Amino acid sequence: MSATSPSILRALSPADSGDEVQQRALLAEIDASCRGTLMLFFGASVVWLLIGTAFALITSWKMHSPNFLADISWLAFGRVRPAHLNAVVLGFASEAAIGVTLWLMCRLGRVPLMHAWMVNIAGVFWNVGLAIGIGGILAGDSTGIEWLEIPGYASPLLFVTYALIAIWGIIAFRFRREKHLYVSQWYLLGALFWFPWLYSAAQILLIMEPVRGVVQAAVNWWFGHNVLGLWFTPIGIAAIYYFIPKVLGVPVYKYSLSVIGFWSLALFYNWNGMHHLVGGPLPAWLITVSIVASVMMTIPVITVGLNHHFTMWGHFHKLKDSPVLRFMVFGGMSYTVTSLHGILLALRSVSEVTHFTHSTIAHAHQGLYAFFVMVMFGAIYYIVPRIVQVEWPSARLIRIHFWATAIGIMLYIVPLTIGGTLQGFAMINPDVPFLDLNKYSVVTMTVPYLKMRSFSGFVILVGHLAFATSFVWIVARWIKAARRPQPAQIASHA
């Protein structure tokens, strides 16, 4: 940026913006360059969120009322469930993640979004590929591989997207104007590089030229866990590292903790996957390695948790005023809790009980939703008004969104974790029958918890509808404003 190098803490803080006027003009230019592309990704992600939520409710309802929509093959439980997973993971969460990543790369590199055509094509391919893929799953063409259900005729489209975005990331990084790297950029570069590798390796070894026997299971969970570990987690952490200091206007607490947190995550997280196979038919060494790596995750989790917590220290009262901060802090705290919980679940003695139960499902939602999705909501609330130059129309809708999703996801996670754990204790006790209507049995004892989960789903739905309404509303205002020619405002670029 400038010849006189700013102090390291200043350079590391997104709150610092150097020469005010020049900076604001540059940020306005960057935000304007992101507008079309980001609204494509965010808009599509909102649509997928609603579709995914509908699939979720159908799936959840079927779990305690098996006759619900039972005669439509397209809506069989085993088809809607993977349709839900792919719609929310690849449709909503990944598209929101890509949007946030593009914007952060531009803002932190101080460059406008270059070669927008590339990412726009990626966005179109992504949505077409996903629509075909999810249609395929509902039609009965699932690959039968968890986290990779999208049929082989649609997945190449998704791969092209990943590759285009990764290439774009490298270009944006290479031609950045700000040479100092902020901690968020390390994580984003990691995610952009790791994911195409994971996805292509898994596609080749599981779908195109499947490896033999349970080597497939090893590849499957190496991939499956790393979707969370090397794609969502780094982008989520990058966003928290950016937005909390940004909203507060303070630097990150400790640079050294950021470095330790990043490298320990890079080193250990990608070795975690085999803990999904504890007790399974694979060599013990393979599973043990993953359990050890899971335990090592305490290092990045605690360092990042402390770093975020102490950045917030003394500023917690600001949660009242900033919805962005509220989503970020909820997400950040969930990250710490879900990760420490995950480490426990990886231990053999705990896994004996909780593996194969609903507690795993609760854990997955805690990581993906309570952490990652909440962070993405916060980021979208921050970014969208800046790129379209229109404020969010209703503060009340945002409040409803926050409280419905925050309370809803807690109502999901807490009872289902308890229910799942009890289910596990019942399952490992051979004196408890597996199914008996007149006795305490493994199947019947779960039903109240499954009903509770459906209830929580409706609470979350309220939040999602509030979010979608806000989004449609701001888009409508943006289009209206764009039709009325007027001098551009850059006042909101604080």
Half-sphere exposure of 293 (CA within 13 A, CB side): 23
To the nearest 10°, report the CA torsion of 196, 200, 201, 206: 140
Which residue, 77 or 458, is less far from another protein as judged by CB?
A: 77
> Which one-letter amino acid corresponds to residue 172?
A
Q: How far is residue 444's CA from residue 471's CA, in Å, rounded to a whole number?
A: 41
Shortest distance, position 267 Cβ to another protein, whole Å:
6
Question: Of 179 and 399, which CB lies nearer to another protein in the complex structure?
Answer: 179
Phi and psi angles of residue 111, each rounded to the nearest 5 degrees, phi first: -130, 145
Residue 283's φ and ψ, nearest 5 degrees, are: -55, 145
**129/424 with CB nearer another protein:** 424
The C-alpha atoms of residue 120 and residue 215 are separated, in whole angstroms, by 37
For every residue of 401-455, DSSP letters joined together read HHHHHHHHHHHHHHHHHHHHHHHHHHHT-TTS-SS-TTS--HHHHHHHHHHHHHH
In angstroms, the CA 481 to CA 37 distance is 18
Nearest alpha-carbon partner for 39 in 127, 120, 112, 93: 120
CA-CA-CA-CA torsion sign (143, 149, 154, 155): negative
Closest approach of another protein to the CB of residue 442, in Å: 8
**What is the Cα–Cα distance from 277 to 329, expressed in whole angstroms?**
32
CB nearer to another protein: give 25 or 215: 215
Of 47 and 181, which CB lies nearer to another protein in the complex structure? Answer: 181
Quote the distance between the C-alpha of residue 316 and its chain's center.
24
Comparing CB distances to another protein, the nearer of 287 and 404 is 287
Report the distance separating Cα 405 and Cα 369, nearest Å.
Answer: 9
With beta carbons less than 8 A apart as the criterion, state whether 369 and 317 touch.
no
Closest approach of another protein to the CB of residue 418, in Å? 17
Is 226 or 338 the residue whose CB approaches another protein more closely? 226
Closer to another protein at the Cβ: 74 or 117? Answer: 74
Nearest-approach distance from CB 77 to another protein, in angstroms: 5
* Residue closer to another protein (CB basis): 189 or 343: 189
Report in angstroms how near the CB of residue 326 gets to another protein at its nearest: 30
Helix/strand/coil for 113: coil
Give the integer Cα–Cα distance in Å for 157 and 160.
5
> Side-chain half-sphere of 105: how many Cα atoms within 13 Å?
30
CB nearer to another protein: pick between 272 and 405: 272
Nearer to another protein among residue 45 and residue 354 (C-beta): 354
At its nearest, how many Å lie between another protein and the CB of residue 373?
A: 21
Nearest approach, Cβ of residue 433 and another protein (Å): 9
**Least distance between another protein and beta carbon 293 (Å):** 8
CB neighbours of residue 471 within 10 Å: 21
Smallest distance, Å, CB 38 to another protein? Answer: 24
Q: Measured from the CB of residue 316, what is the shortest distance to another protein in angstroms? A: 29
Burial of 114 (0-12, 13-18, 19+ CB in 10 A): middle
> Please, which residues have CB within 8 angstroms of residue 157's CB and are 6 or more apart in sequence?
125, 126, 128, 129, 132
Q: How many CB atoms lie within 10 A of CB 200?
A: 16
Distance of closest approach, residue 218 Cβ to another protein, in angstroms: 5
Nearest to another protein of 429, 486 (CB atom): 429
How far apart, in whole angstroms, are the C-alpha atoms of residue 20 and residue 491? 12
Cβ 457 to another protein shortest distance, Å:
17
